[in-house]
Amino acid sequence: PQPIHLSDYRPPAYLVSRTELTFDLAPGTTRVKARLHLERHPEREAGAPLWLDGEQLSLKAIAIDGQPLEEGEYELTRKGLSITGAPEAFVLDTEVEISPEDNTALSGLYRSGGMFCTQCEAEGFRRITFYPDRPDVMATFSTTVIGDLTREPVLLSNGNPVERGELPDGRHFVTWDDPHPKPAYLFALVAGDLKKVEDRFTTMSGRDVTLQIWVEEENLDKTDHAMGSLKRAMRWDEEAYGREYDLDLFMIVAVNDFNMGAMENKGLNIFNSAAVLTHPNTATDAAFQRVEGIVAHEYFHNWSGNRVTCRDWFQLSLKEGFTVFRDQSFSAEVNSAPVKRIEEVSFFRTAQFAEDAGPTAHPIRPDSYIEIGNFYTLTIYEKGAEVVRMLSNLVGPETFRKGSDLYFSRFDGQAVTIEDFVDCMAEVSGQDLEQFMRWYSQAGTPEIDAFGEYDYANSRYRLILRQRTPATPGQPEKQALHIPIRLGLVGTKSGRDLSMTLDGESLGRDAVIHLREDEQEFIFTDIEEAPVPSLLRGFSAPVKLSFPYSREDLAFLMAHDSDGFNRWDAGQRLTLLALDDLIAAHRNGVEKVMDTRLVEAFRALIEEGNDDKAVLAEMLQLPSEAYIAEQQPLVDVDAIHAARTFIQQSLAQELRDELLALYRDNQSDAAYAPTPEQIGQRALKNVALSYLMSIEDEVAIELAQAQFEADHNMTDVRQALTLLVHSSRSDIADPALKAFGRKWSHDPLVMDQWFSLQVTRPQADALDRARYLMEHPAFSLKNPNKVRALIGAFAGQNRVNFHRLDGEGYRLLADVVIELNRLNPEIAARIITPLTRWQRFDEARQALMRAELERIRGEELSPNVYEIVEKALA
């Protein structure tokens, strides 16, 4: 497969103004008729051939302006169809046959259970009909869906239903009309025996919108939270961005087989059932919050993505980075904002930093790709959102709103570029954002080395910042970025933020300085006492920042920093220092000794408490093994696991009474509600329980068992069951596991949790269990949720067992990748990620991981897996 380059972009030879589709549905052979109203692109030369993408289609008929084309009047390949010498404007009719039931890739039109559904982003529409399947071709659509009255009583597509009727042989049809021009990737069709929950929303201009969530009948009681989230998101987008919904109907459909979380098809969002269904008995707090965030994200795309879309797929972050920023802002407002930021950043620094340091590192706007499906990454989404966040902070919230208003009004109905977006921000703010644009073209995580010294004689604080971005594949040299650093100087005597003066200008007590050069010196004057600097507050830029903090400095910041995020981060840094010592001790075979300063810092945290219990829970949480690994030059999985476990157990022993009290004080029988207060309380109780269970004393075991048996809500049940299953006590774990499996065997989303919590246990039998569970009747490689729950969780979260020195963990993953390469290449290319990180490990493991990558390379590969494996082995 050949790469596609951004620099080769050209507008299409023809545009489509209107698309009329008719689907005659049948699982084995579905007939699709398409009528396209085409016109030459004004910027393209006369005679340029028409190109229509088309894959796995069986062409039955083709005609121009009603005249059938003979063979030889068009050219057909495995990738599509071209016509030379077509008129400047004409109507093209085609008819094709496709087979939804054979579509295991879940791209195009496919079957999920008994229903039909589509996934067209990024390039799935070409598996439905011949079409210029690129986002800069925008048309209005009319879609007629014909189905079986009993098997598919519900027939849905984009826009508004305009006609329906019965047909002979138990068939019926519905015609849908979508008046908003859209690219083919936003097309959707769903047909099946679905039931709906309905609600209404009145927009800010007083229009009435019908809201529908379509699900299988047994899930009708799991839609309340998604519906509430949708209404909150609609109102928030009006208030925060002035964006109103633009159709009379907004539909969400839940499907069980789906490659990602959800899809923002115009007026007909299709959701992975895991991203929409919740019930206190089946979904955890984290799932409730995820659903709220994803519902909002897809809804926000109606403007940032649908009304204004991307010119080409290199601009993917234009819609995804901006929309993630929008959903993060929404979630921060409706939940605990500091906790949301801590969660975002701790995920980002673990997973995106690793991507940016690995063989598939790429800029937010890549220069080339082989398979665009491989670019729905943390860099495009999350780093893209961090860059929009920096922009918003640079220009200020009011100006950012002016810039987004300008962007939406100037480009409504168009397919545009990242420059178009940033130019709007530059125009309204008057700022020069040229250097800032490098964030979009340069891959890799910038590293900042900071040094500071206090000059007692002159009351000055001198801060030196040096930046460098490491080389990444294809980008050996990097240029300096514009990096905004939010900071405060915390007085060591007063414990308060000091007022800062820089170059004669008063900055206040919390300010942003701008690093633009490779190295810069900042001299703060009139600093009346020696400070500890609190740098990168709120994670003001997606960088790694190091400063030679002493443990005393960190304990001080943990207690006194006015920035909640940096208080948490100081705790993380302090724990990492203790972990460094313990990792070294483990490797050298020396006795491990607990750092008493850490114990005292944690004791102080518990004693002081926090009004926001979720924040306290986060502060008590140890860094994950994956994040600890990120800090190490060479990852020693066993030493990391041993060191982290040692800290956890030492804290549990030293603070046993405090943790027990914390657990008891936060127990509650109140009816479940996914409110920030209740979620914080449960998080705090469960973090205490996990410490106590790490030493497996009888009291902790009784508490975990009682919590499991109380069966109050899934958050508590799942946490208790996980702790039991992850303990060494199979005598108590097994009965609980069995009871849970029996009780929930009918619910696929709960069974996913049952799979995950078993394969993530640290005990040595986890791998055998994973292989055994792959044979379980509830497991299927064809269902992406199952693959993620079992294989993804094992390879991604069970580090000691995945990285077993006999290579069996790697072999398991490679076996699955080989199978999935045939069935579902998008999922195969995602699930392979842990194997691509081989450079981070010791030689023995490197050899084993590379051998498995070579074994995969020996197969006949899909472009998706080919691209990742080639990069990993380059």
Residues that bind Zn ion (CB under 5 A): 320, 323
Task: Quote the least distance from Cβ 573 to ligand HT7, whole Å.
Answer: 33
State which H helix or E strand residue 202 sits in: strand 195-202
- 134 interacts with, out of Zn ion, ligand HT7, none, CB within 5 to 8 A per kind: none
Rounded to whole angstroms, the Cα distance separating 209 from 147 reads 27
* DSSP class of 351: I
Site for ligand HT7 in 768-827 (CB under 6 A): 826
The CA-CA-CA angle for residues 416, 261, 121, to 5°, reads: 40
Q: Binding string to ligand HT7 for residues 262 to 301, with x set by CB under 6 A, is what? A: xxx--------------------------------xx--x
H-assigned helices in 609-729:
613-620, 625-631, 637-654, 656-665, 676-694, 698-710, 714-725
For the chain, report the end-to-end CA distance as a whole number of angstroms. 16
- 119 interacts with, out of ligand HT7, Zn ion, none, CB within 5 to 8 A per kind: ligand HT7
Task: Quote the least distance from Cβ 117 to ligand HT7, whole Å.
Answer: 11
Applying CB under 6 A, among 201, 376, 411, 779 the residue interacting with ligand HT7 is 376
Number of residues that bind ligand HT7 (CB under 6 A): 15
Task: Candidates 260-268, 334-342, 535-543, 584-592: pick the segment binding ligand HT7 (CB under 6 A).
Answer: 260-268
Site for ligand HT7 in 851-870 (CB under 6 A): none
Rounded to whole angstroms, the Cα distance separating 453 from 83 reads 71
Helix (H, G, I), strand (E, B) or coil at 693: helix
- 259 interacts with, out of Zn ion, ligand HT7, none, CB within 5 to 8 A per kind: ligand HT7
Rounded to whole angstroms, the Cα distance separating 794 from 792 reads 6
Give 152 or 320: the residue with its C-beta nearer to Zn ion. Answer: 320
Per-residue three-class SS string for 47-90: CCCEEEECCCCEEEEEEECCEECCCCCCEECCCEEEECCCCCEE
Give 278 or 317: the residue with its C-beta nearer to Zn ion. Answer: 317
- 423 interacts with, out of ligand HT7, Zn ion, none, CB within 5 to 8 A per kind: none
* DSSP class of 355: H
- 569 interacts with, out of Zn ion, ligand HT7, none, CB within 5 to 8 A per kind: none
Task: Quote the least distance from Cβ 619 to ligand HT7, whole Å.
Answer: 31
- 373 interacts with, out of ligand HT7, Zn ion, none, CB within 5 to 8 A per kind: ligand HT7
Give 382 or 612: the residue with its C-beta nearer to ligand HT7. Answer: 382
Task: Quote the least distance from Cβ 342 to ligand HT7, whole Å.
Answer: 23
* DSSP class of 475: B
Nearest to 258 by CA among 657, 654, 667, 826: 826
Helix (H, G, I), strand (E, B) or coil at 608: helix
Q: Binding string to ligand HT7 for residues 651 to 690, with x set by CB under 6 A, is what? A: ----------------------------------------
Give 301 or 482: the residue with its C-beta nearer to Zn ion. Answer: 301
Which tokens belong to 818? 């080989």
Task: Quote the least distance from Cβ 119 to ligand HT7, whole Å.
Answer: 5
Does 320 contact ligand HT7 by CB under 6 A?
Answer: yes
Applying CB under 6 A, among 260, 605, 778, 828 the residue interacting with ligand HT7 is 260
Rounded to whole angstroms, the Cα distance separating 177 from 853 reads 48
Rounded to whole angstroms, the Cα distance separating 428 from 248 reads 33
Tell me if residue 677 is catalytic.
no
Other Cβ atoms closer than 10 A to 47: 10
Rounded to whole angstroms, the Cα distance separating 649 from 656 reads 10
Task: Quote the least distance from Cβ 394 to ligand HT7, whole Å.
Answer: 25
- Longest CA–CA span in the chain (Å) reads 95
Applying CB under 6 A, among 132, 192, 358, 373 the residue interacting with ligand HT7 is 373
Helix axes 224-241, 285-300, angle to 10 degrees: 50
Site for ligand HT7 in 72-131 (CB under 6 A): 119, 121-122
Rounded to whole angstroms, the Cα distance separating 734 from 549 reads 46
Give 331 or 694: the residue with its C-beta nearer to ligand HT7. Answer: 331
Task: Quote the least distance from Cβ 309 to Zn ion, whole Å.
Answer: 12
Give 327 or 612: the residue with its C-beta nearer to ligand HT7. Answer: 327
Task: Quote the least distance from Cβ 127 to ligand HT7, whole Å.
Answer: 12
Task: Quote the least distance from Cβ 301 to Zn ion, whole Å.
Answer: 6
Decide: 404 and 241 in contact? Cβ < 8 Å. Answer: yes
- DSSP notation for 106-139: -SEEEEETTEEEEE-TTTTGGGTS-B--STT--E
- Residues written for the chain: 874
Rounded to whole angstroms, the Cα distance separating 784 from 274 reads 11
Give 121 or 867: the residue with its C-beta nearer to Zn ion. Answer: 121
Give 331 or 678: the residue with its C-beta nearer to Zn ion. Answer: 331
Q: What residues contact 822, with CB distance under 8 A and at least 6 apart? A: none
Query: Residue with CB nearest ligand HT7?
Result: 260
Give 124 or 488: the residue with its C-beta nearer to ligand HT7. Answer: 124
- 641 interacts with, out of ligand HT7, Zn ion, none, CB within 5 to 8 A per kind: none
- 12 interacts with, out of ligand HT7, Zn ion, none, CB within 5 to 8 A per kind: none
H-assigned helices in 726-862:
730-743, 748-759, 766-773, 784-787, 793-797, 799-802, 808-823, 825-831, 833-836, 843-857
- 251 interacts with, out of ligand HT7, Zn ion, none, CB within 5 to 8 A per kind: none
Which tokens belong to 604? 């102080």
Question: Residue 526 — left, alpha, or beta (φ > 0 → left; ψ -120 to 50 → alpha)?
Answer: left
Give 119 or 323: the residue with its C-beta nearer to Zn ion. Answer: 323
- DSSP notation for 509-521: SSEEEEE-SSEEE
Catalytic residue among 298, 343, 382, 386: 298
Nearest to 352 by CA among 421, 446, 420, 438: 446
* DSSP class of 851: H
Site for ligand HT7 in 475-494 (CB under 6 A): none
Give 245 or 627: the residue with its C-beta nearer to Zn ion. Answer: 245
State which H helix or E strand residue 319 sits in: helix 316-334
Give 264 or 569: the residue with its C-beta nearer to Zn ion. Answer: 264
Task: Quote the least distance from Cβ 182 to ligand HT7, whole Å.
Answer: 13
Site for ligand HT7 in 504-533 (CB under 6 A): none
- 121 interacts with, out of Zn ion, ligand HT7, none, CB within 5 to 8 A per kind: ligand HT7
Task: Quote the least distance from Cβ 135 to Zn ion, whole Å.
Answer: 13
Task: Quote the least distance from Cβ 370 to Zn ion, whole Å.
Answer: 22
Task: Quote the least distance from Cβ 320 to ligand HT7, whole Å.
Answer: 5
The number of angstroms, rounded, from the C-alpha of 735 to the middle of its chain's C-alpha atoms is: 35
Instruction: Tell me the sheet residues that pair with 173.
Output: 146, 165
Decide: 422 and 432 in contact? Cβ < 8 Å. Answer: no
Give 363 or 825: the residue with its C-beta nearer to ligand HT7. Answer: 825
Site for ligand HT7 in 408-447 (CB under 6 A): none
- Point out which residues bind ligand HT7 (CB under 6 A): 119, 121-122, 259-260, 262-264, 297-298, 301, 320, 373, 376, 826
Catalytic residues: 298
